Structure 1
Amino acid sequence: MPVASFVMGAEGWTPVGHKSTRDDSRMLPVGPIHAADPEAGTSVCGGIALELDRAGRSFTPWGPGTCPRCSESLDPQPAPTPPDAHHR
């Protein structure tokens, strides 16, 4: 499934808020980063209503801060093999 841009959960955005002399209007997501179903506008993991990332960046499965369920849906990881599985 194509994911045009990553999106933030409905919790919203918060200002970066760095102390500086320049105007810093950058925003950071509140909550985990979700992948969007491009047709429904909801999260891949469970239909949460989403707000598109204002910078239009792409969702990278398993990246920092990403929703594990969205990442698993888009890029399934093999189940870990128990250490003693080869000794039977």
Structure 2
Amino acid sequence: MTKDIYWTSGRYSQEGNKRWEWATTQPYQPLSYTNWNPTIPVQPDFNKPGYCSDISFFQTGHWFDDLCSSNIKFICESKLRPR
């Protein structure tokens, strides 16, 4: 079974705000939802710029942090259009 990992559009603040935030909002907003992996003792464990939140569908769908420069898939986001 392959390990499917995707970027969730979360990132650790590059502006010194010392928080995890959505990279798709302007201005950047704190994460309003998280699903960090509870089986890892300290998660997220890299609270510093250059780290992004990824989601793993291999087992549980929980989040973990990883270098933003990692070559992984991503989830696209778009606004709903009124009917």
Higher Rg of the two aligned structures: 1
- TM-score, normalising length: structure 1: 0.22
Of structures 1 and 2, the one with the larger relative CO (CA 8 A, separation 6+) is 2
From the two aligned structures, give the one with the greater strand fraction: 2
- TM-score, normalising length: structure 2: 0.23
From the two aligned structures, give the one with the greater helix fraction: 1
